[in-house]
Structure 1
Amino acid sequence: MWTVLLVEDEVFVRESVREIISWEELGFTVIGESGNGTEALELITRERPDLVLADIVMPGMNGIELLKQTRQAGLNTKFIMLTCMSEFEYVRQAMEYGASNYILKLSMSVNSLRDTLRKVSMELSALSAGARRPDSPETEMDGEADPLVTDAAYKEGTAPAHPRPRGFSGLVQPVVAHPEISKIIEYIGHNYDQDITVKSMSRYVMMGENYVSALFKKKTGYTLIHYLHGVRMEKAAAFLRETDLAVHEVGHRVGFVSDNYFIKIFRRWTGCTPSQYRHRANTATEPEIV
Structure 2
Amino acid sequence: MWRTLIVEDEQHARASLRKLMQKAAIPFEIVGEAGDGNEALGLIRELKPDVVISDIVMPVMDGVKLLKAAREEGYECRFVMLTCMSEFEYARQSLEYGASGYLLKLSMDVNGLRQAMEKVSHELEQRERLRKVDKWFPDKRQAEPTDHPEMNRIISYIEEHYAEEITLKGLAELIRMDASYVSDLFKKKTGSTLTSYIQNCRIQAAKMLLTETGRTVSDIGRQVGFENDNYFIKIFKRWCEITPSEYRKRYND
TM-score bracket for the superposition, by shorter chain length: 0.5 to 0.7
Q: Where do 5+ consecutive residues of structure 1 fail to align? A: 140-187, 202-209, 214-220, 239-249, 269-290
Shift in alpha-carbon separation, 1:222–1:82, aligned structure 2, 3 A: farther
Instruction: Provide the rounded CA distance (Å) in 2 between the counterparts of 1:22 and 1:199.
Output: 43
Structure 2 counterpart of 1:264: 193
Answer with 1 or 2: which has the greater Rg.
1
Q: Where do 5+ consecutive residues of structure 2 fail to align? A: 162-168, 198-253
Instruction: Provide the rounded CA distance (Å) in 1 between the counterparts of 2:99 and 2:115.
Output: 16
Tell me if the contact between 1:192 and 1:228 (Cα under 8 Å) persists in the aligned partners.
no
Give secondary structure in 2 for the equivalent of 1:39: helix
**1:192 is aligned to 2:165:** no
Shift in alpha-carbon separation, 1:232–1:48, aligned structure 2, 3 A: farther
Give secondary structure in 1 for the equivalent of 2:103: strand
Shift in alpha-carbon separation, 1:104–1:262, aligned structure 2, 3 A: same
How many aligned residue pairs are there? Answer: 180
| TM-score between both structures, scaled by the size of structure 2 | 0.57
Q: 1:193 offset after TM fit, Å?
A: 4.9
Give secondary structure in 1 for the equivalent of 2:46: helix
Structure number with the higher helix fraction is: 2
Tell me if the contact between 1:23 and 1:30 (Cα under 8 Å) persists in the aligned partners.
no
Structure 2 counterpart of 1:58: 58
Give secondary structure in 1 for the equivalent of 2:33: strand
Tell me if the contact between 1:192 and 1:231 (Cα under 8 Å) persists in the aligned partners.
no
Moved over 4 A (4+): 136-139, 193-201, 228-238
| TM-score between both structures, scaled by the size of structure 1 | 0.51
Shift in alpha-carbon separation, 1:75–1:195, aligned structure 2, 3 A: farther
Q: 1:234 offset after TM fit, Å?
A: 4.3
Structure 2 counterpart of 1:85: 85
Q: How many percent identity over aligned positions? A: 39
> Which is worse superposed, 229-238 or 11-20?
229-238
Structure 1 counterpart of 2:125: 125
**1:108 is aligned to 2:96:** no
Q: 1:119 offset after TM fit, Å?
A: 2.0
Instruction: Provide the rounded CA distance (Å) in 1 between the counterparts of 2:124 and 2:78.
Output: 8
Give secondary structure in 2 for the equivalent of 1:81: strand
Instruction: Provide the rounded CA distance (Å) in 1 between the counterparts of 2:110 and 2:75.
Output: 28
